[in-house]
Structure 1
Amino acid sequence: MRILVLADVESKYLWDYFEKEKLDGIDLILSCGDLKPQYLSFLASFSKVPILYVHGNHDDCYEIAPPDGCICIENKIYVYRGVRIMGLGGSIRYNNGKNQYTQAQMKQRVRKMWLSIKRHKGIDILLTHSPAAGVNDGEDHVHKGFDAFVDILDEYQPKYFIHGHVHKSYSNGFKREDKYKNTVVINGYDRYIIDVDI
């Protein structure tokens, strides 16, 4: 399965210089958040595949105008072609934004997912906005990752952990792909294509 991952900035390649053929061969689109709803709606109008998304810390506008033709998987497990995708958006709390959480609040969200994870017999992809704590997260407080995501990786060992929030321009240590134990970690900043064999 070929997955197009999007996060944080609207790709000029896919918006300003869009050609329908650029979506050929894509089986699924995953958004890690902080993207204009108009951008996702635009892609949905040309795509024949599901576009799944979680909220970024700047996506308060989704409450008023969510992206048309897309599927929000916040606090859910969405199964597509047998691939189990769990969504948990938002960032660490740094002001009073709607999509910001303390470490304790995110742990509570994960606890509420336990029964659904058990019912689905695990997950294949963890889709979030923020990274996991200590796994390619930022040095500043705003871009710190969540401890609860490390707990998920340790306990359920999804094949892929896909996140955004840490931009390529933030540091020289930006990693597009990494590994945490048995999980491939992907930073979806801008756009990235992965071929998933699950």
Structure 2
Amino acid sequence: MRILAIADQESSYLWDHFEKSKLEGIDLIISCGDLNPNYLSFIATFTSAPVLYVHGNHDERYNQTPPEGCICIEDKIYVHQGIRILGLGGSMRYKPGECQYTERQMKARVNKLKLQLLRRRGFDILVTHAPAYQLNDGMDLPHQGFRAFLTLLDRYRPKFFLHGHVHMSYGRRHKRYDKYQDTHVINVYERCIFDYEDEEPGKHIR
């Protein structure tokens, strides 16, 4: 399964200079948040692949203008071609507003998923906006990751963990690819493509 993952910055390659052929061979599109809803709607009109999304910390506008033709996977496990995909959007709370959570609040969201996780026997891809704690996160509160995500990775050992929020333009210390135990961790800032079946995606992500 070939997956296009996007987050944080609209890609001019896809939006300003779009050709339908650029999405050929893509089986699934996943947004990790902080993207213009019109951008997601635009992409959805040119593909038969499902377009899944979670909210970023700047996505309050989705309440008034949800991305058309796209599927919100917040707090649920979505199954596509047998692949179980868990969505948990938002960032660490750093000011009043929606789509922001304290560590305690994120832990409570995870606890509410227990029945789904039991029924589905875990998940294969974790999709979030924020990173996990001390796993390619930032030192400042707005970009600090969640310990609750580490708990999920430790317990269920998914194949992939996709996140955004920490822009690659912030500095060299923020990597596109990392690995945590058995899980391939990808910062999908702007856009990247990978194959779910790839056992060494770090070598082939583009």
Q: Same fold (TM over 0.5)?
A: yes
Scaled to the shorter chain, the TM-score interval is over 0.9
**Which residue of the partner structure matches residue 111 of structure 1?**
111
Tell me the distance in 1 between the aligned counterparts of 2:133 and 2:58.
Answer: 20
TM-score normalised over the length of structure 1: 0.99
Q: What's the CA shift string for 1:31-88, capped at 9, x where partnerless?
A: 0000000000000011111000000000000000100000000000000000000000
Q: How far did residue 180 of structure 1 move? A: 0.3
Aligned partner of residue 133 in structure 2, secondary structure = coil
Aligned 1:6-85 pairs, distance under 5 A: 6-85=6-85
Q: Which runs of 5+ in 2 are unaligned?
A: 199-206
Q: How far did residue 141 of structure 1 move? A: 1.0
Q: What's the CA shift string for 1:121-157, capped at 9, x where partnerless?
A: 1100000000000100011111000000000000000
**Which residue of the partner structure matches residue 202 of structure 2?**
none
Identity %: 61
Aligned 1:77-156 pairs, distance under 5 A: 77-156=77-156
- Higher mean displacement: 9-18 or 170-179: 170-179
**Which residue of the partner structure matches residue 195 of structure 1?**
195
Q: How far did residue 197 of structure 1 move? A: 1.6
Aligned partner of residue 105 in structure 1, secondary structure = helix
- 1:2 matched to 2:8: no
Please provide the CA RMSD for this pair.
0.8
Aligned partner of residue 68 in structure 2, secondary structure = coil
Q: Which runs of 5+ in 1 are unaligned?
A: none
**Which residue of the partner structure matches residue 168 of structure 1?**
168
Tell me the distance in 1 between the aligned counterparts of 2:160 and 2:172.
Answer: 23
Amino acid at match of 1:84: R
Q: What's the CA shift string for 1:154-185, capped at 9, x where partnerless?
A: 00000000000000111221211100000000
Q: What's the CA shift string for 1:62-119, capped at 9, x where partnerless?
A: 0001000000000000000000000000000000120000000000000000110110
**Matched positions, count:** 198
